[in-house]
Amino acid sequence: MNPLLTPFDTAPFSKIKNEHFKPAFLQAIEDARLEIDAIANSKKAPTFENTVAALDFAGQQLDRVSSVFFNLNSAETNPEIQKIAQEVSPLLSEFSNDITLNEELFKRVKTVYDQRNDLELTTEEQTLLDKKYKSFSRNGANLPLDKKKRLREIDAELSKLKLQFGENVLAETNKYEMHLTNEEDLDGLPEGEKEAAAQLAKSKDKDGWLITLDYPSYIPFMKYASNRKLRKELSIAFGSKGFHNDELDNQKNIINIANLRHERANLLGYKTHAHYVLEERMAETPEKVHQFLQELLEKAKPAAEREFAELENFAKQLDKIDRLEKWDGAYYSEKLKQKLFDLDDEKLKPYFKLENVIAGVFKVAAKLFGLQFEEVFDIDKYHPDVKTYRIYDKNKNLVSLFYADFHPRPGKRGGAWMTSYKAQYVQNGINVRPHISNVCNFTKPTASKPSLLTFNEVTTLFHEFGHGLHGMLANTVYPGLSGTSVYWDFVELPSQIMENWCYEKEALELFATHYQTGEVIPMELVQKIKDSATFQEGMATLRQISFGLLDMSWHGADPSGISNVKEQEVKAFEPTDLYPECPETCMSTSFSHIFQGGYSSGYYSYKWAEVLDADAFAYFKEKGIFNQEVATKFKDNVLSKGGTEKPMELYKRFRGSEPKIEALLKRAGLLAETTN
Do strands 425-427 and 398-405 pair parallel, antiparallel, or not at all (unpaired)?
Answer: unpaired
Residues 6+ apart with CB under 8 A from 87: 22
As a whole number of angstroms, the distance between CA 59 and CA 40 comes to 14
> In whole angstroms, what is the distance from residue 606 CA to residue 491 CA?
9
The active-site residue out of 76, 307, 464, 537 is 464
The stretches of 509-660 forming alpha helices (DSSP H) are 523-532, 537-555, 565-573, 592-595, 605-623, 628-634, 647-655
Closest CA to 591 of 251, 320, 94: 251
Closest CA to 547 of 572, 581, 578: 572
Residues 6+ apart with CB under 8 A from 512: 351, 352, 356, 360, 520, 521, 526
Strand residues in 299-415 grouped as ranges (E): 372-376, 387-392, 398-405
d(C-alpha 374, C-alpha 324), whole Å = 49
Q: How far is CA 340 from CA 528, 535, 578, 614, in A?
A: 10, 9, 22, 25
Cβ atoms of residues 113 and 129 within 8 Å: yes
537 catalytic? Reply is: no
Crossing angle of helices 565-573 and 537-555, rounded to 10°:
130
The values of phi and psi at residue 410, to 5°, are -60, -30
- Interstrand relation of 398-405 and 435-439 (parallel, antiparallel or unpaired): parallel
| 334 contacts 344 by C-beta, under 8 angstroms | yes
In what helix (H) or strand (E) does residue 425 lie, and over which residues does it extend?
A: strand 425-427
In the chain, how long is the greatest CA-to-CA distance? 81
Tell me how far apart the alpha carbons of residues 540 and 529 are, in angstroms, rounded to a whole number: 16
Number of neighbouring beta carbons within 10 Å of residue 236: 16
Starting at the edge strand that comes first in sequence, how are the strands of the sheet with 417-422 ordered?
372-376, 387-392, 398-405, 435-439, 417-422
End-to-end CA distance of the chain: 71
Task: Give 516-523's long-range contacts (Cβ < 8 A, gap of 24+).
Answer: 516/350, 521/348, 521/351
Q: Give the orientation angle of helix 215-224 with respect to helix 191-203, to 10 degrees.
A: 140
What is the distance between the alpha carbons of residues 466 and 460, in angstroms, rounded to a whole number? 10
Any idea which residues carry the catalytic annotation?
464
